[in-house]
Amino acid sequence: MKRFDIVEHTADTGIIAYGTDMQEAFANAAYGMFSLMADLRQVREETSRYVEAEASDRESLAVSWLNELLYLFDVERIIFSRFEILELTDTRLKADVHGEKVDASRHKLRGGVKAATYHTLKVAENRERCRVRVIFDV
Partner 1 sequence: MARWEGPLKKIDDYRWEIPREYKPGMRVPGLIYASEDMLDSIREEQAAEQVVNVAFLPGIMGHSMAMPDVHWGYGFPIGGVAATRVEDGVISPGGVGYDINCGVRLLRTNLREDEVRPRIEELLSILFTNVPSGLGSTGKIKVGKKEMDDILTEGARWAVKRGFGTEADLEVTEERGCLKGADPDKVSVKAKERGSPQSGTLGSGNHFVEVQVVGEIYDEPAARAMGIDDVGQVLLLIHTGSRGLGHQVCGDYVRTLREAMQRYGIEVPDRELACAPVKSAEGRDYLAAMACAANYAWANRQCITHWARECFTAVFDRSLPQIGLEMVYDVAHNIAKIESHEVNGKKVSLCVHRKGATRAFPASHPSTPAKYREVGQPVLIPGDMGRYSFVAAGTDRALKESFGSVCHGAGRRMSRHAAKRGVRDADVARDLAAKGIIAMAASRGGLAEEAPEAYKDVAEVVEVCHKAGLCRKVVKAYPLGVVKG
What residues line the site for partner 1 (CB under 8 A)? 6, 8-13, 37-38, 55-56, 60, 63-64, 67, 70-71, 73-75, 77, 79, 102, 104, 108-112, 114-115, 117-121, 135, 137-138
Contact 88/23 with Cβ under 8 angstroms?
yes
| Smaller CB separation from partner 1, 57 or 87 | 57
CB of 137 to partner 1, least distance (A): 4
Looking at residue 42, the DSSP 8-state letter turns out to be G
Q: In Å, how far from its chain's centre is CA 89?
A: 17
20 vs 120, beta carbon nearer partner 1: 120
Cβ-based nearer residue to partner 1, 50 or 71: 71
Q: With respect to partner 1, which residue has the nearer C-beta, 20 or 110?
A: 110
Which H or E element spans position 37? Answer: helix 22-37
Is residue 117 classed as helix, strand or coil in its secondary structure? Answer: coil
Tell me the three state secondary structure of residue 65.
Answer: helix
Closest contact distance (angstroms) between CB of 111 and partner 1 is 4
Beta strand residue intervals within 89-137, DSSP E: 92-101, 115-116, 122-125, 130-137
Smallest gap, in angstroms, from Cβ of residue 40 to partner 1?
A: 13
